[in-house]
Structure 1
Amino acid sequence: MKLLYWLDEWTQLPHAEQQKQVPFTGGDLLGDVYVKYHIIDASKPLLFTFSPAGTNYQEHDLTDDFSPWAYKLAKKQDVNIIAFQHLGISNWFRHRNLLFFIEQLAPLIGGFKERLGYGLSRGGFAVGAFANLLKLDKVLLFHPVSTKNKEKAPWDDRSSTDIAQKFDWAGDYHDVDLGQAKGYIIYDPTNRIDRAHAKRYSQLTHLRVFGMGHSVHATYLNKFGFYKDVAVDFIRHQQVDIAQFRQQTKTLRFKEDYYRRLNKANKGSAHRLALLSTAHNILIDEKAEHLQEQKEAVDVQPLIDIAIKHQEAHPKDAIKLLEVAQQLSPDDPLIEHKLKQLK
């Protein structure tokens, strides 16, 4: 465990001496989890990431160029990164080697400027479970699982819960334990299981995205840069611009093919289709209100002025401009009057 030995010595040095020994990059296998790290400066934040479900990497995939989930993204933001990648499909970061490593790591990272955590779903569970141990300051979680302990989350009846019962859900680090960490949890309130898990993260700021679903939509949302944009904002500034986030999600959800594509992606699941239908119906009134607000906010006067200025030399163009203005402001009497004159 090269990182532990190196940190033990490095953290004792003055900052100027520390900087002579960085960047320090490497990786270790911790049972069924691979950790890769890139340390550059104790005066910058240290980010911990844990991979979500959806991959089936094996030990033979761990080449020198292999990058765990979110590792490259973090490096681009110029922060310190320790990224954990699970191996295999059914893996909930429960291996004793991993737990021992994190327990040994925790006392060595107090000198970093700020300690951050970022994870989706299963990775969000790990961030929440180890947050207090690692003394994380801030976290960003997308639809995290809080635990697979059936007594604490009896409503989580997904197939993944039964599969996960081969692990210990009563021992150390099996449940959300945020300590003093603050931050954000992002989830779809129409998904009853995600909503129930989210309630167990009461100290975080809740950001709701209707229709986002759980994990299965990640690839589609990534095409719009949804996860990346929010994560970059968090990593760079240690906070999320909530106003910008809400505008981004509103724009995303108002795209014409948003629900069409999500419905197509989930055509084999009546449960998910029902959730999407609920979210879509909620959005109908909101979208109509939004469009009306947009129409009221549009200033069509410049279009009218140009049309009037060029109506004699280019009457057809003037009519087209006025017709566009009328679409934006259908109740404007001046536009209607000028169209009647030109036609």
Structure 2
Amino acid sequence: MKLLYWLDEWLTNSRSEQQAQLPMSGGDLLDNVYVKYNFVDVNKPLLFTFSPAGTNVQEQDLHEDFAPWGYHLAQKQQVNVISFQHLGKSNWFRSRNLIFFLEQLATLLEPFTYRLGYGLSRGGFAVGAFANLLQLDQVLLFHPVSTKNQKTAPWDDRSSTEIAQQFDWEGDYHDLDLGKAKGYIIYDPTNRIDRLHAKRYPELTHLRVFGMGHGTHATYLNKFGFYKQVAVDFIRNQQIDIAQFRQQTRTLRFKEDYYKRLSKVNSSSEHRLGLLSKAHNILIDEKEEHVQEHQAQIDVQPLIDIAIRHQDEHPKDAIKLLEMAQQLVPNDPIVEHKLRQLL
């Protein structure tokens, strides 16, 4: 537990001396959890990340450059970070050694006055369970899981719940304990279990994304940078621009592949397929209005100017530029006139 020893000694210095000793980074193995940390500035937020299911790293996969889930994202935002990566498939951060480490760590973080937590699914459980212990100020949770205690959440009948019963769900930190933390929880309200877990976080701002599912669309949403965009906003500003978030989800819904994937996932339910089809048709009309609205704001004059400037030396390139402008603003008389001249 090199980090604990380093922090204990680091705390004996003045704040200016503490800053002078940064940056500092390293890693520790705590039973079946690997922790990696990077401290860059005592005046910046400290971010805690916990890995979600699906990141099934084994101990033999660890190496000097290995980065737990969320670690690189924090580095790019130049904040302090402590990232926890579970090892193996069935691991809910219930290791006694890990809990002891976190209890000791919590007493050594006084210099970091603003603390954040970011987790997805299983990682979100850990953020919520340890939030009070770590004195988190703001949290960002995707696909919520509040606990796997079957007495507390008897409606969580996922297969993962049964597997998770090998761990202690009666002892310390087995359930959400946000303390003073505020923040955001993002989930699909049509997912019954996620919705019920989310209801257990009344302190947080609820942001709903229809069709997001739980894990099913994680790779798909990640493909469009959905998670990253929201997380970066949260880490940089310690809050989410909700208007921008709504625009992101609206843009996501305009992608045809979104409905194809949703239909595939819900292929066994005629009722859901009907709802999806109705929503898709509404969105087709909405998308057309959205495109027309933005086309009216597009200024293609720079493309026209460049085309005119180079039409003698590079007529083919000029035509391509004008054709591009025509795609952006169909039926524009100036673009059509210049194209007729060059063709």
Shorter-chain TM-score: which interval? 0.7 to 0.9
**Partner residue, 1:159:** 159
Shift, 1:181, TM fit: 0.3
Indicate if the aligned counterparts of 1:190 and 1:279 stay in contact, CA closer than 8 A. Answer: no
Q: Which blocks of at least 5 consecutive residues in structure 1 are unaligned?
A: 304-316, 327-343
3-state DSSP of counterpart to 1:123: helix
Q: Counterparts in 2 of 1:1-343, with a 5 A limit?
A: 1-264=1-264, 266=265, 270=268, 278=275, 281-282=278-279, 284-285=281-282, 288-289=285-286, 291-292=288-289, 295=292, 299=296, 324=330
Shift, 1:56, TM fit: 2.0
> TM-score w.r.t. structure 2 length?
0.82
3-state DSSP of counterpart to 2:256: coil
3-state DSSP of counterpart to 2:210: coil
**Distance change in 2, residues 1:287/1:112 (3 Å):** farther
Indicate if the aligned counterparts of 2:254 and 2:287 stay in contact, CA closer than 8 A. Answer: no
**Distance change in 2, residues 1:278/1:131 (3 Å):** farther
Amino acid at match of 1:88: G
Distance 1:291 1:184 in 2: 32
**Distance change in 2, residues 1:275/1:88 (3 Å):** farther
3-state DSSP of counterpart to 1:233: helix
Distance 1:296 1:124 in 2: 38
Amino acid at match of 1:29: L
Amino acid at match of 2:235: I
Amino acid at match of 1:227: Y
Distance 2:30 2:186 in 1: 29
Shift, 1:40, TM fit: 1.4
Distance 2:271 2:163 in 1: 25
**Distance change in 2, residues 1:85/1:279 (3 Å):** farther
> TM-score w.r.t. structure 1 length?
0.82
Distance 2:295 2:227 in 1: 31
How many residues align? The count is 307
Distance 2:168 2:273 in 1: 34
Q: Which blocks of at least 5 consecutive residues in structure 2 are unaligned?
A: 301-322, 333-343
RMSD of the alignment, in Å?
A: 2.7
3-state DSSP of counterpart to 1:257: helix
Distance 2:54 2:131 in 1: 23
Distance 2:106 2:9 in 1: 15
Deviates more, 1:10-19 or 1:100-109: 10-19
Distance 2:90 2:229 in 1: 29
Shift, 1:270, TM fit: 3.6
Deviations 1:103-147 (A, max 9, x none): 001111122131000000000000000001101000000012000
